């Protein structure tokens, strides 16, 4: 079996085979910084997605740096998962959304070696779940505020 292993530097520089735009991690990071400066995206989704992919790869016994730098995880985290229409809208929802995208992408790589790139499928699945995530986050906030209001009301009655 002819498996070619690339160094971290080669993966970062983009001197490896891959789809256009996803190989040069330096260019992706420049785009990430630009999108942050222009306030086009929130930092939460890409950062949490990358951390989640890193931790998931570590837990599953993979080289986490290689897992994050290879394939389209960084590209998907910065440019696709942050789509303002289909991504989670609440701050807590963005954390959950990014966490699950990163974990699913790595899990798909491990569970199905014939399908080495699970980032797009992870993003599509979580795009379907984003409204549910936001709904649950908002419902939880409403419950928490109602409990706080009830406690304040009881406190006011007792004084």
User: 46 — phi, psi (to 5°)?
Assistant: -65, -40
C-alpha 102/C-alpha 53 separation (Å) is: 4
How many other C-beta atoms can be found within 10 angstroms of the C-beta atom of residue 50?
Answer: 18
Q: Dihedral angle at the C-alpha atoms of 97, 101, 107, 111, nearest 10 degrees?
A: 110
- The confidence score (pLDDT) of residue 2 equals 53
C-alpha 80/C-alpha 86 separation (Å) is: 10
User: 70 — phi, psi (to 5°)?
Assistant: -90, 150
The verdict on pTM exceeding 0.75 is yes
C-alpha 15/C-alpha 8 separation (Å) is: 11
Give the tens place of pLDDT for each residue, 55-68.
999 999 999 999 89
- Six-digit token pair at 10? 């080669």
**Alpha-helical segments (H) within the chain:** 8-13, 25-37, 44-59, 64-69, 73-75, 91-111, 119-158
- Six-digit token pair at 92? 């807590």
- The confidence score (pLDDT) of residue 32 equals 96
Give the tens place of pLDDT for each residue, 19-30.
777 888 999 999
Give the tens place of pLDDT for each residue, 91-146.
999 999 999 999 999 999 889 877 767 899 999 999 999 999 999 999 999 999 99
Least confident piece of the model among 38-52, 76-90, 143-157: 143-157
């Amino acid at each position: 079996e002819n498996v070619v292993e690339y160094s971290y530097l080669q993966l970062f520089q983009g001197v490896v085979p891959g789809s256009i735009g996803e190989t040069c991690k330096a260019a992706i990071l420049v785009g990430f910084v630009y999108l942050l400066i222009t306030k086009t995206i929130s930092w939460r989704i890409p950062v949490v997605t990358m951390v989640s992919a890193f931790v998931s790869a570590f837990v599953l016994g993979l080289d986490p740096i290689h897992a994050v730098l290879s394939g389209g995880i960084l590209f998907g985290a910065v440019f696709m998962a942050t789509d303002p229409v289909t991504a989670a809208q609440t701050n807590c929802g963005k954390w959950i959304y990014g966490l699950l995208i990163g974990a699913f992408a790595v899990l798909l790589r491990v569970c199905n070696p014939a399908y080495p790139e699970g980032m797009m499928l992870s993003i599509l699945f979580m795009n379907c779940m984003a409204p549910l995530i936001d709904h649950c986050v908002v419902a939880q906030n409403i419950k928490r505020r109602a409990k706080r209001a009830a406690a304040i009301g009881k406190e006011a009655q007792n004084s």
